[in-house]
Amino acid sequence: MESTNRYDENYESQYEVHWEKLQQELANENLEEFRTEFMDMHPYDQAMFFMEQEKNIRLQIYSYLSPDEIAEIMESIELEDTTSYITEMDPRFASMVLEKMAADNAVDILNELEKDQVASFLTIMDKDAADEIKQLLHYEEKTAGSIMTTEFVAIFKTNTARQAMQHLKEEAPDAETIYYLYVLDDEKRLVGVLSLRDLIIADEETRIEEIMSEKIVAVSVGKDQEDVAQMIRDYDFLALPVVDFQEHLLGIITVDDILDVMDEEASDDYSKLAGVSEIDRPDDSAFLSAKKRLPWLIILSFLGMLTASLIGRFEDTLDQVAVLAIFIPLIAGMAGNTGTQALAVAVRGLATGDYGKQGKIKLIIREAGTGVITGTVCGIVITGIVYLWKGDIYLGLLVGFSITASLVVATIAGSLVPVLMDKMNIDPAVASGPFITTINDIISVLIYFGMATAFMGFLV
């Protein structure tokens, strides 16, 4: 551990030295010295240095580096930031940077820009690169087609191992990955896959169809990106082929692209669970943050008014036994918390694919059992506390039974609502924490005052 820490300290020290030298070379406009120092850094460190600079310094860096080198930096930067950097470059230089990037990453950036900006870049760009990007731009967002790359290595099943190896050497510099070679028939349909290891150890004159694997796992071009991420996770693939309805190979999706998808989907689910239309970014203005949060808050305020109106209907009950009002926050709060716990478990299980059809039923049954146990225990504890506090066993039993019933119903609702939404092809995360909490407030108030009204004779 001590040696590891020493290594980390040395690395940080070297990084700071690099940083200071780079700042100095830029200030002195020493082109060659800057390039030597900058290119000695890891691409990620280059990106971190680049992002810390003011716009005028970034413009200077663009003039010192080639489109190829800038493209490599862009690959290490988050999409939201990359789009702003692309638009501040000279359009011709930016188009060359996009050409040098992996096609799928270039498409992600262009999808964030205005249509006239996209058209401008595609017009300036090299025709072959523009055609490839246009092809990917046509696919619907968040589908396999929108995140795939067309930079892969494909061989024919009639090739020999020697021919395949020669083709691999020619295509490798531009390929996204070379660990898998995809095997096509004469009609360019995907019929097999060959690992780089199997190709290396094969006899040079062996035909590819003799050594390829015919156990192909592929996804259709219109498949949802979240389902693709699930497949790559389940099968531990480095890449997954994308095909059309006739099994023609269109592209591949690599694991690094899927990591971006998983991060995006996790942020999206977190936003919905928090009752926000989009996740807030650190550089968002107060107005933009408010705009993202207001839709859910307005919806929830109407649901809150429903809760208030329900309490109003039990005004006579409250007039007769005013002490009942003391326990409204307790019962509503516990029901909301329990429902949110069940919701989190259900949404996570549905998002990761841990529950099949039978698994969903087991989930609901398990959560119902959990609600009964937690509700009973909490009900007994609260009954005792209320009795010792107020000296009224009937009031204690009322509050205890209300908490037990509310927790059971809230737990079932927290697991059942996202399952039903998933069945209706609605994102389960839409059943956000605030939404479930408000629904459970309504349910718990109905249970509490309904029981209080029914057993009023014991309380007065």
Per-residue model confidence as pLDDT tens digits over 46-74: 899 999 899 999 999 999 999 999 999 99
Residue 333 has pLDDT above 70, yes or no: yes
- Residue 243's pLDDT band, with cuts at 50, 70 and 90, is very high
Phi, psi of 396 (to 5 degrees): -60, -45
Least confident of 232-236, 369-373, 426-430: 426-430
Candidate ranges 39-48, 91-100, 274-283, 339-348; pick with highest mean pLDDT: 91-100
Q: So what's the pLDDT on residue 4?
A: 47
Residue 7 has pLDDT above 50, yes or no: no
Per-residue model confidence as pLDDT tens digits over 105-138: 888 889 888 888 888 899 999 888 888 888 888 8
Q: What number is the average pLDDT over the span 321-339?
A: 80
Q: So what's the pLDDT on residue 301?
A: 72
Is the pLDDT higher at 247 or at 441?
Answer: 247
Residue 307 has pLDDT above 60, yes or no: yes
Candidate ranges 191-200, 274-283, 394-403; pick with highest mean pLDDT: 191-200
Q: What number is the average pLDDT over the span 430-436?
A: 62
Please state, for a pLDDT cut of 70, what percent of the chain lies above it.
81
- Residue 147's pLDDT band, with cuts at 50, 70 and 90, is confident
- Residue 340's pLDDT band, with cuts at 50, 70 and 90, is confident
Q: Which two tokens stand for residue 54?
A: 């003011």
Structural domains of the chain, ranges and CATH numbers in brackets: 2-146 (1.25.60.10), 154-269 (3.10.580.10), 286-459 (1.10.357.20)
Angle between helix axes 255-273 and 225-235 (nearest 10 degrees) is 120
Q: 3-state SS of the chain?
A: CHHHHHHHHHHHHHHHHHHHHHHHHHHCCCHHHHHHHHHCCCHHHHHHHHHCCCHHHHHHHHHHCCHHHHHHHHCCCCHHHHHHHHHHCCHHHHHHHHHHCCHHHHHHHHHCCCHHHHHHHHHHCCHHHHHHHHHHHCCCCCEHHHHCECCCCEEECCCEHHHHHHHHHHHHHHCCCCCEEEEECCCCEEEEEEEHHHHHHCCCCCEHHHHCECCCCCEECCCEHHHHHHHHHHHCCCEEEEECCCCEEEEEEEHHHHHHHHHHHHHHHHHHHCCCCCCCCCCCCHHHHHHHHHHHHHHHHHHHHHHHHHHHHCHHHHHHCHHHHHHHHHHHHHHHHHHHHHHHHHHHHHHHCCCCHHHHHHHHHHHHHHHHHHHHHHHHHHHHHHHHHHCCHHHHHHHHHHHHHHHHHHHHHHHHHHHHHHHCCCCHHHCCHHHHHHHHHHHHHHHHHHHHHHCHHHHC
Q: Which two tokens stand for residue 371?
A: 């609600």
Residue 427 has pLDDT above 50, yes or no: yes
Please state, for a pLDDT cut of 90, what percent of the chain lies above it.
25
Per-residue model confidence as pLDDT tens digits over 352-410: 666 655 577 888 888 889 889 998 999 899 899 988 988 888 888 988 888 898 889 88
Q: So what's the pLDDT on residue 15?
A: 63
Candidate ranges 240-244, 328-332, 425-429; pick with highest mean pLDDT: 240-244
Structural contact between residues 172 and 272, judged by C-beta atoms closer than 8 angstroms: no
Candidate ranges 193-207, 233-247, 358-372; pick with highest mean pLDDT: 193-207
Q: So what's the pLDDT on residue 146?
A: 86
Q: So what's the pLDDT on residue 193?
A: 94
Residue 272 has pLDDT above 70, yes or no: no
Q: So what's the pLDDT on residue 384?
A: 92
- Residue 75's pLDDT band, with cuts at 50, 70 and 90, is confident
- What is the Cα–Cα distance from 400 to 422, expressed in whole angstroms? 34
Q: What number is the average pLDDT over the span 31-58?
A: 89
Q: Which two tokens stand for residue 24?
A: 């100095």
- Residue 291's pLDDT band, with cuts at 50, 70 and 90, is low
CB atoms within 10 A of CB 90: 11
Per-residue model confidence as pLDDT tens digits over 163-185: 999 999 999 988 888 889 999 99
The average confidence (pLDDT) of the chain is 82
